[in-house]
Each structure stands twice: as C-alpha cells, then as structure tokens.
Amino acid sequence: MTIALIHWNAAAGAARAAELRRLGYRVEATTFDPAVLRRWKETPPEAVVIDLSRAPSKGRDAALAVRDAKATRGVPLVFVAGDPVKVAGIRALLPDAVYADWEAIATALRTALTHPPVAPRKPTSRFAGYAGAPLVKKLGIKANFRVWLRHAPADFEATLGELPEGAALGRRPGKTTAVTIWFVRTRRELAAKIAGQAARLGAGKLWIAWPKKEAAPAGDLTQRQVRESGLAAGLVDFKICAIDAAWSALCFVRRK
C-alpha cells in the first residue's frame, strides 16, 4: 500500500516518511507540482498525507488540485499539524478530509483508509482557497517586497490595491525584486522573451499572466502553453491565480 507524503522541507519530510514506513506503508515523499499530479492520475496513491507545518497554503492548493482531478478525487486526504487558524480554513473547504497531529498519524491513516470519502467534495473552483482574499495576498506580495510589473495594464496598480507596509512597485527589475508579474498577450511574445525573463529571475517568484478566453481582446495563449514554456525555460510552476475578469496567471520559480 503506497502513501504519498507532501512536505515542503526535504529533511523534515524524510524523517516523517520514515515514521510512516515504520507503520508498514510504502511512502512516496514529495513536494507537489503538475508532474506529480499527472503521475498520480495514472497510478493514484492509496492516501495523501499533507504536512501543514510549513507552507500551509501550498498544502491546501495541492489538496484542491487532487480533489479537482477526477482520477484522484476519491483518494483520502490526511492533513497533519499546522496553525489551528489556517487548518480551520482548510477544513471549511475540505470537511471530509482527516485532520490530526503527527502523534496520532497511525490512527488518522487507519481512519482515512477504512472510511474513504463516499462522495468526495469537489471544490467549486481551483481558486476556492483564495475566495475573498486580497489580490496582493493571492500574488504572495508581503511587507517590504519589491515587485516588478512588466507590461502591466495601465489600470493594474488600481486593481492590485493597497500594498503591505514597505512593499513597492517598480517598472524595472533589480537584485532585490521578490515578485515579478509579467503580462503576456501572445504566444509569439512568450516564446521570444521567456528565456531572458527566466535568466533574470534569481531567487524570486515570476507570475506569468495571460488573457482569459472571455477577455477583450482575447489572446492566443492557454494555461498549458504558459506552463510548458516555463518548464522548458528551467522553471517550475506551483500556484495559479485569477487576477481579475480578464487575466489568469501561473507562478514560477527556478527549478532546484
């Protein structure tokens, strides 16, 4: 029986995976990205354990992606640890998952495997975890961050709203740029500039935004094309955001 463990710290994840193996399970310890989900669609694990002690929003997004995919929707989800307030928010989205501390993981896994969700709740949207959240929070803009807006619409600063304390927008990149938001209108533009954009990314995050199909004027880009271009440039995506009625975006970082 194979259990998947999603953990965002390699050393801590390895230790937790060892705990699960001592309980008699085969364990796939991983972070989460589209390639992992594609593999699980072909061969789903028996259950997915998600550690919320680090990067709980990533854990939430991973769980929503698992539930959103038809092939993995019935896989039991077990959330472990985490800040109580953030765990409560995830519980509201996924009430049929199992929630526990690591001290009770053996019982939690038995419960999840013995009583899997009969009618797993499919999220109303992949963006459900961000319902009501300010755009700056969706984009991961924090206090004192430097944000580069590349080819942004003229009204985007108004759309973005109030920034956290000390955060600032710029029209040029810099060594301290923490978040880049790049608005791309066409496949041709993306193909011509993605390599250069990836090369200057550094340790920050890159949002690549493209027009939604219902936008006016509509572009010729799709989420799949944006993701594939980023992967080919040595990046990996880990988050999606509905910026507004006209734009969607994927967030990339350098592949480690």
Query: What is the mean pLDDT of each successive set of 10 residues along the chain, which is 256 residues long?
Result: 88 90 91 82 91 85 84 91 85 88 93 85 55 79 94 87 90 88 95 94 93 71 93 92 87 90
pLDDT of res. 218? 64
pLDDT of res. 16? 92
The full DSSP string for 143-156 is TT-EEEEES--TTH
pLDDT of res. 38? 85
State if pTM tops 0.75.
no
pLDDT of res. 215? 59
Tell me the C-alpha distance between 98 and 3, whole Å.
14
The full DSSP string for 121-169 is PPPS-TTGGGTT--HHHHTT--TT-EEEEES--TTHHHHH-SPPTT-EE
**Count helices and strands in the chain by DSSP H and E runs:** 9, 11
The full DSSP string for 31-51 is ---HHHHHHHHHS--SEEEEE
Strand partners, 5: 29, 49
What are the φ and ψ backbone dihedral angles of 253, each rounded to 5 degrees? -135, 165
Sorted by where each starts, the structural domains of the chain and their CATH numbers stand as 2-130 (3.40.50.2300), 135-254 (3.40.50.150)
Tell me the C-alpha distance between 228 and 198, whole Å.
13
Tell me the C-alpha distance between 16 and 5, whole Å.
8
Contact 247, 228 (CB under 8 A): no
pLDDT of res. 56? 84
Contact 181, 147 (CB under 8 A): yes
pLDDT of res. 8? 84
